[in-house]
Amino acid sequence: MVKITGIEFRNPTILASGIMGTTGASLVRMANSGAGAVVTKSIGPEPKTGHPNPSMVKLDCGFLNAMGLPNPSYADFDNEIKIAKEGADVPVIASIFGGNAEEFVRVAEGLTEAKPDAFELNVSCPHAEGYGATIGTDSCMVEAITAAVCDAVDAPVWVKLTPNVTDIRSIGKAAENGGADAVVAINTLRGMAIDINSGYPILGNRFGGLSGPAVRPVAIKCVYDLYETLEIPVIGVGGVSSWEDAVEMIMAGASAVQIGSAVHEGIEVFGNIATGIEQFLQDNGYAGVEDITGLAHEVI
Amino acid sequence: MRPINAKIIQIIEETPSIRTFRFDTSLNDAQPGQFVMVWLRGVDEVPMGCSFKNGITVQKVGDATSRLFELKEGDSVGLRGPFGKGFTLPAKDENILIIAGGVGVAPLGPLADSAASVGAKVTTILGARTASELVFEQRFSEAGDIHLTTDDGSAGTCGFVTTVLADMDVSAYDRICVCGPEIMMFNVLKMLQKKGAHDRAEFSLHRYFKCAIGVCGACCMDHEGLRVCKDGPVLNGSLLLDSEFGNYKRSSSSQRVKV
């Protein structure tokens, strides 16, 4: 059992936003496959179709994607959260986005009736103009948006950060100053792939975000830095696909880990990683995840 | 995988709105019912059932397929795949019923070839709106028995594939493999349920795909969250009975829309 921002999780693995989170039914399926909590697809103020395909491509080192925040808007999504809450026996976290504080608040308030266990603010999508990282690279906006949403809702507020900044600590600090209950790091790294047969960038949006094994060392360093700087918990995400990866992320400073691209290899990944972490803790005489959270900071 | 470059070596006009495109590259490990993502560079990328190891059979319906129909022999597209789960492979002496409607013939053509080549007995119900819209009639005939149906009666039985199916004793078939418009497939599922054969039936489904590799969840069906791109596109009838199938699907913005 893990407790973060007042919410109890049966294990420290969480389904990351943007993966299998478009419908209530798929969120329930991920919970049933072992996830300790699930985060929805990012939901915005208006329906959005996203970028043209190809929107995701597997490369040798990871995955490149540019979905473009496709979503049915909060008005059409509250029912999916209700389905997820009814069917899944784990916390359901609503990921939301907007172009400014007012839009974030409108979406958060619009979903409040469905009673998500927490909100995760997407200020980090690297490829949607006017949204995501456009906001998340500006610490003043991150603080203002976080403060506005924290004012508007009672549920805990997590802020998901972009690694595409000079210093992620300053953005994390802005979220904390705005009243965030936790930060989630990292979203994808901006990247691109080109088809050498034609010269066309492969993604419909031309560029997108890199995830998977390639980004894990970047995520580990970001989590390490944020843990050192912030008082609030850090939830680690980026390239975790095994229990060893998860333990490494926790030792860098994560209170829990989110898993995304690794779902490609099988949805059993949550149960497998949770079991592996549990076994590791037991084998090494640790009472819980909190015993090894940030361990890398203590052994110097 | 990155898209592989596939040059069009032959274009066959199957009907006024359906064409087969054959490529210089073969996806030799493609199983009947699996699909490829066909990338029309600068326009879009869309899923297509493989109608041959090196070919797709396509109806012109939107931006991507309109662009594809503008291409000529010698032009090229990008291909990723084969992806997804296809039909159960037929075995020697099995009895297979194929039910194909319109461009739904695409993934069933290779299944008929495969069944005939291993010594399975194949019966096909092939339907279309009108005689000129029937596709792969000769291909299915070469694999076994064939029943034609057209909405207007211009060839075979006047009516739908279900008109023929209604009078059939399906207990003889080990498997029933279906692809066509969703309403047609839904009517077939309901009829097979009445005949107690829905759990021996496999349906090739169509949903809006984004990632196509089982990660994003855009093609998930209610109420089990099955991913059409990875758990499907071929799904057993028993998985579809209490589902959104025949009722609604999701648009590109994940909103529910009527089938």
**How do the domains of chain A map onto residue ranges?**
2-47+67-188+211-298
* Residue B135 and residue B214 in one domain: yes
Is the peptide bond between B223 and the residue preceding it cis, with omega within 30 degrees of 0?
Answer: yes
Q: How confident is the model at residue A110 (pLDDT cuts 50, 70, 90)?
A: very high
Put simply, the chain A residues between 218 and 277 with a CB less than 8 A from any chain B CB are: 260-261, 263-264
In a domain, B90, yes or no: no
CB within 8 Å: A57 and B41: no
Final residue in a domain of this structure, among B83, B116, B141: B83
**B177 marked as part of a ligand binding site:** no
pLDDT tens readout for residues B69-102: 999 999 999 999 999 999 999 999 999 999 999 9
* Residue B40 and residue B134 in one domain: no
Contacts of A54 in chain B (CB under 8 A): 3, 37, 39, 45, 80
0.95 cut: is pTM over it? yes
Query: For A130-134, what is the mean pLDDT?
Result: 87
Question: Do A49 and A70 form a contact (C-beta atoms < 8 A)?
Answer: yes
* Residue B67 and residue B115 in one domain: no
A158 to A96, A181, A183: CA distances (angstroms) = 10, 6, 5
pLDDT at res. B40: 97
Q: Is it the case that residue A300 has pLDDT exceeding 80? A: no
pLDDT at res. A286: 98
Q: How confident is the model at residue A181 (pLDDT cuts 50, 70, 90)?
A: very high
CB within 8 Å: A72 and B254: yes
pLDDT tens readout for residues A241-279: 999 999 999 999 999 999 999 999 999 999 999 999 999
pLDDT at res. A157: 98
Q: Which two tokens stand for residue B211?
A: 């990632």
CB within 8 Å: B220 and A71: no
Say what percent of chain B tops pLDDT 90: 100
Q: Which two tokens stand for residue B3?
A: 């898209």
What is the value of ipTM here, to two decimals? Answer: 0.96
Number of H helices, E strands in chain A: 11, 14
Interchain CB contact of B221 with A (< 8 Å): yes
In a domain, B129, yes or no: yes
Q: Is it the case that residue A95 has pLDDT exceeding 80? A: yes
DSSP B233: B
pLDDT at res. B67: 97
pLDDT tens readout for residues B147-181: 999 999 999 999 999 999 999 999 999 999 999 99
Nearest neighbour of B44 by CB, restricted to A48, A53, A263? A53
Interchain CB contact of B231 with A (< 8 Å): no
Final residue in a domain of this structure, among B48, B83, B118: B83
Q: From the centroid of its chain, how far is CA B212? A: 16
Overall domain count for chain B: 2
In a domain, B185, yes or no: yes
> Which secondary structure element, helix H or strand E, spans residue B67, and what is its range?
helix B63-70
CB within 8 Å: B253 and A22: no
pLDDT tens readout for residues A10-60: 999 999 999 999 999 999 999 999 999 999 999 999 999 999 999 999 999
CA closest to A30 among chain B residues: B225
Question: Do A44 and A108 form a contact (C-beta atoms < 8 A)?
Answer: no
Interchain CB contact of B72 with A (< 8 Å): no
CB within 8 Å: A72 and B217: no
- Tell me how crowded residue B52 is: count the other CB atoms within 10 A of its CB: 18
Q: Is it the case that residue A133 has pLDDT exceeding 90? A: no
pLDDT at res. A9: 97
Cα torsion A84, A90, A95, A96: sign: positive
CATH hierarchy code of domain A2-47+67-188+211-298: 3.20.20.70
Interchain CB contact of B247 with A (< 8 Å): no
pLDDT at res. A128: 84
CB neighbour class for B5 (10 Å; exposed up to 12, middle 13-18, buried from 19): middle
Nearest neighbour of B254 by CB, restricted to A22, A193, A260? A22
Distance from CA of A264 to the nearest CA of B (A): 6
* Residue B246 and residue B126 in one domain: yes
Task: Answer left, alpha or beta for residue B33, where phi above 0 means left and psi between -120 and 50 means alpha.
Answer: left
- CATH code, B11: 2.40.30.10
In a domain, B88, yes or no: no
Instruction: Name the H helices within B178-248.
Output: 182-194
Longest CA span, chain A: 56
CB within 8 Å: B41 and A195: yes
pLDDT at res. A129: 82
Final residue in a domain of this structure, among B83, B115, B137: B83
Higher pLDDT among residues A205 and A134, named by residue? A205
The residues, any chain, with a CB within 8 Å of residue B217's CB and separated by 6 or more, are A19, A20, A21, A22, A23, A26, A41, B225, B227
* Residue B51 and residue B144 in one domain: no
pLDDT at res. A256: 98
pLDDT at res. B168: 97
* Residue B193 and residue B151 in one domain: yes
Q: How confident is the model at residue A130 (pLDDT cuts 50, 70, 90)?
A: confident
CA closest to A71 among chain B residues: B253
CA closest to A194 among chain B residues: B2
Place of tokens 């592989």: B4
Longest CA span, chain B: 50
Long-range (24+ apart) CB contacts under 8 A made by B226-230 are B227/A20, B227/A26, B228/B84, B229/B47, B229/B83, B229/B84, B230/B83, B230/B84, B230/B85
CA closest to A27 among chain B residues: B225
Q: How confident is the model at residue A169 (pLDDT cuts 50, 70, 90)?
A: very high
pLDDT by residue, tens only, chain B of 259 residues? 999 999 999 999 999 999 999 999 999 999 999 999 999 999 999 999 999 999 999 999 989 999 999 999 999 999 999 999 999 999 999 999 999 999 999 999 999 999 999 999 999 999 999 999 999 999 999 999 999 999 999 999 999 999 999 999 999 999 999 999 999 999 999 999 999 999 999 999 999 999 999 999 999 999 999 999 999 999 999 999 999 999 999 999 999 999 9
Tell me whether residue A125 is one of the annotated catalytic residues. yes
The residue of B2, B39, B239 whose CB has the most chain A CBs within 10 angstroms, and thus the best one to mutate to test that interface, is B2
The residues, any chain, with a CB within 8 Å of residue A217's CB and separated by 6 or more, are none
Interchain CB contact of A46 with B (< 8 Å): no
* Residue B72 and residue B117 in one domain: no
Instruction: Name the H helices within chain A.
Output: 24-32, 74-87, 101-112, 133-136, 139-152, 168-177, 216-229, 243-252, 269-283, 289-292, 295-298
- CATH code, B190: 3.40.50.80
CB within 8 Å: A22 and B220: yes
What does DSSP say about strands A118-122 and A157-161: parallel, antiparallel, or unpaired?
parallel
The residue of B35, B66, B209, B216 whose CB has the most chain A CBs within 10 angstroms, and thus the best one to mutate to test that interface, is B216
CA neighbor of B113 nearest in space, from B46, B182, B55: B55
What's the mean per-residue pLDDT of chain A?
A: 97
* Residue B247 and residue B220 in one domain: yes
CB within 8 Å: B42 and A200: yes
Query: For A112-136, what is the mean pLDDT?
Result: 92
In a domain, B37, yes or no: yes
Q: What is the span of the domain harbouring residue B51? A: 4-83
Interchain CB contact of A76 with B (< 8 Å): yes
Cα–Cα distance, A139 to A121 (Å, whole number)? 14
For B8, the 3-state DSSP assignment is strand
